[in-house]
Chain A
């Protein structure tokens, strides 16, 4: 849940990048950190294992400027993607305002994407949130691998697998090159801010 400070006119918004392991959630944040250096005042925090996998979360605070006189502070988080870390994934989801689901578009990852999305649905229910209500953006990551001959799922299959019921905005993306990374971010920020405004009015 967002926190609104009426004294200093600051709104803090929590956006979580969720998805299967090795899908590119951390890479999304690393790209944002490089690209929007001016709007980021502090270092990106990464809690990872020796093997460079996310152990708990990555955290990146992001200043969005002002809306209606309020300073919007976006807090970007990732979750650990590996199946065994669901307990920590749930901890990070607490108080989430908006989500980017980073799916891995490689053919071999098809089932893992679906499982991860199902688990997100269940985890949100534990916080009395619904995947159908919370602002959500789908990102089909790693489409750049297509050029290297890696079998990539066509977007219509990914849409059918992951987005046929949710019907949320979706992007093909490449977190490594940055393709559609800012677009996904902008979309989730605008959806989330609109959602908060609606809740308040």
Chain B
């Protein structure tokens, strides 16, 4: 998939999917990044402002590190990557070999519900390149 230049239409659809599937259920912030740490798009609920550029650089590094660790123990990948805090949580999910979806959410949403919605969002995003 060539994602190097994403069309305006693709971006708008992606934003729509993220808003519909994730922001509306109460996710604070969703970012799609590539594995090099570039931001493809970022959506938030308007309340929480994160430094998304630094976040993307660290998230790409984090994901790559965990991926390398998976290979060391003979796994293809660790498909679920989740950091739990007292008030804030972060969930990482691979969209494909190049893209990563990151959701930041509070304690009002259950992890299971979030995961269901992330899976649906990813399926729809993949269709944009089909």
Which residues of A are at the interface with B, using a C-beta cutoff of 8 A? 1-7, 12, 14, 42-43, 45, 47, 56-57, 59, 61, 73, 75, 77, 87-88, 91-92, 94-96, 200
Cα(A103)–Cα(B34), bound, Å: 30
Count of residues in B whose CB is under 8 Å from the partner chain: 25
**Cross-chain contact A91 with B4 (CB below 8 angstroms):** no
Residue numbers in B under 8 Å from A4 (CB-CB): 4-6
Residue of B nearest to A93 (CB): B36
Q: Which of A5, A57, A95 contacts B11 (CB 8 A)?
A: A5
**Total of A-B residue pairs, C-beta within 8 Å:** 77
Residue numbers in A under 8 Å from B38 (CB-CB): 2-3, 12, 14, 75, 95
Report the minimal beta-carbon distance from B65 to chain A, rounded to whole angstroms.
7
Cα(A87)–Cα(B60), bound, Å: 15
Cα(A67)–Cα(B8), bound, Å: 19
**Cross-chain contact B34 with A3 (CB below 8 angstroms):** yes
Please judge, given known A-B contacts A61-B53, A73-B53, whether A6 and B6 are in contact too, CB under 8 Å.
yes
Cα(A126)–Cα(B65), bound, Å: 17
**Cross-chain contact B51 with A42 (CB below 8 angstroms):** yes
**Cross-chain contact A1 with B4 (CB below 8 angstroms):** yes
Cα(A35)–Cα(B8), bound, Å: 35
Residue numbers in B under 8 Å from A2 (CB-CB): 4, 38
Within 8 A of A (CB), among B22-64: 34-41, 51, 53-54, 57-58, 60-61, 64
Residue numbers in A under 8 Å from B65 (CB-CB): 56, 88, 91
Please judge, given known A-B contacts A56-B61, A61-B54, whether A12 and B4 are in contact too, CB under 8 Å.
no
Residue numbers in B under 8 Å from A91 (CB-CB): 61, 64-65, 68
Cα(A2)–Cα(B4), bound, Å: 7
Within 8 A of A (CB), among B51-104: 51, 53-54, 57-58, 60-61, 64-65, 68
Q: Which of A12, A42, A92 contacts B39 (CB 8 A)?
A: A12
5 closest pairs, A vs B, by CB? A95-B36, A3-B38, A59-B57, A7-B11, A91-B64
Residue numbers in A under 8 Å from B68 (CB-CB): 87, 91
Residue numbers in B under 8 Å from A96 (CB-CB): 36
Q: Which of B35, B39, B61 contacts A57 (CB 8 A)?
A: B61
Tell me if B110 counts as interface (CB < 8 A to partner A). Answer: no
Q: Which of A14, A42, A73 contacts B36 (CB 8 A)?
A: A14
Q: Which of B4, B35, B51, B57 contacts A77 (CB 8 A)?
A: B57
**Cross-chain contact A75 with B11 (CB below 8 angstroms):** no
Cα(A43)–Cα(B50), bound, Å: 12
Report the minimal beta-carbon distance from A108 to chain B, rounded to whole angstroms.
32
**Cross-chain contact A59 with B54 (CB below 8 angstroms):** yes
Tell me if B120 counts as interface (CB < 8 A to partner A). Answer: no
Q: Which of B36, B41, B53, B58 contacts A94 (CB 8 A)?
A: B36
Report the minimal beta-carbon distance from B18 to chain A, rounded to whole angstroms.
14
Cα(A47)–Cα(B53), bound, Å: 16
Residue numbers in A under 8 Å from B37 (CB-CB): 14, 59, 75, 77, 95
Residue numbers in B under 8 Å from A12 (CB-CB): 38-39
Report the minimal beta-carbon distance from B36 to chain A, rounded to whole angstroms.
2
Report the minimal beta-carbon distance from B37 to chain A, rounded to whole angstroms.
7
